[in-house]
């Protein structure tokens, strides 16, 4: 679409199944189809579909890219679990992953912004992850204070253990067993 629009053409989008003249034609090739489409367009008989504006197309492309990345992340996680399981490092019995939804949205239609947290609590018994919530509201003054503390070195990340890359399996085992009380760092 963008290429045609860049060259000054006005593209028309038509669903092929809704265009009976092409679907019922005996001779099927691009040249014949183009001639039939041109005749239908000239006679104003072409049922056109909506063409999304460039901003919407960009958002759709971004969402498709995000979906692809999420699928890739899931694929890689599954591969890592498979490799660990092949070498006898499966998840410990009773180890359950946890998803914590952090937020303090405002302006929800009925629930004042806590609808995401409530949905998580309602879904928790029915999904493999344990869903929890943490609600906070932030303001500019608190964020500036936090920034000053970080810059002064008074707030630092809690690092439990550091492992070299060759010891990634014991690091993941330690993390999955639930012993970690801070960040696990893998040095590359």
pLDDT for residue 158: 84
pLDDT for residue 163: 92
Q: How confident is the model at residue 99 (pLDDT cuts 50, 70, 90)?
A: low
CB 47 within 8 A of CB 14: yes
Relative to beta strand 48-49, strand 13-14 is antiparallel
Per-residue pLDDT reduced to its tens digit, 35-57: 888 888 888 878 788 888 888 88
Percent of the chain whose pLDDT exceeds 70: 74
**Mean predicted confidence (pLDDT) in 50-77:** 85
Question: In this model, does residue 91 exceed pLDDT 70?
Answer: no
pLDDT for residue 34: 83
Most confident of 14-18, 73-77, 122-126, 129-133: 73-77
Q: What is the mean pLDDT of the chain?
A: 77
Q: Give, as one character, the DSSP assignment of residue 138.
A: -
CA atoms within 13 A on the CB side of 55: 0
Q: How confident is the model at residue 129 (pLDDT cuts 50, 70, 90)?
A: low
End-to-end, the C-alpha distance of the chain in Å comes to 44
Relative to beta strand 130-134, strand 98-102 is parallel
């Amino acid at each position: 679409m963008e290429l045609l629009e860049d060259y000054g053409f006005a593209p028309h989008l038509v669903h092929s199944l809704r265009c009976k003249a092409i679907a019922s034609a005996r001779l099927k090739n691009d040249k014949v189809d183009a001639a039939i489409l041109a005749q239908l367009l000239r006679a104003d008989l072409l049922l056109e579909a909506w063409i999304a504006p460039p901003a919407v197309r960009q958002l759709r492309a971004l969402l498709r890219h995000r979906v692809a990345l999420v699928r890739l992340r899931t694929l890689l996680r599954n591969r890592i679990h498979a490799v660990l399981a092949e070498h006898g490092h499966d998840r410990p019995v009773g180890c359950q992953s946890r998803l914590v939804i952090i937020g303090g949205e405002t302006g929800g239609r009925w629930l004042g912004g806590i609808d995401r947290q409530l949905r998580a609590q309602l879904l928790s018994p029915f999904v493999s992850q344990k869903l929890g919530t943490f609600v906070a509201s932030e303001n500019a003054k608190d964020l500036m204070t936090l920034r000053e503390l970080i810059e002064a070195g008074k707030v630092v990340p809690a690092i439990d253990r550091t492992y070299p890359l060759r010891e990634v399996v014991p690091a993941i085992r330690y993390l999955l067993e639930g012993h970690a009380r801070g960040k696990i760092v893998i040095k590359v």
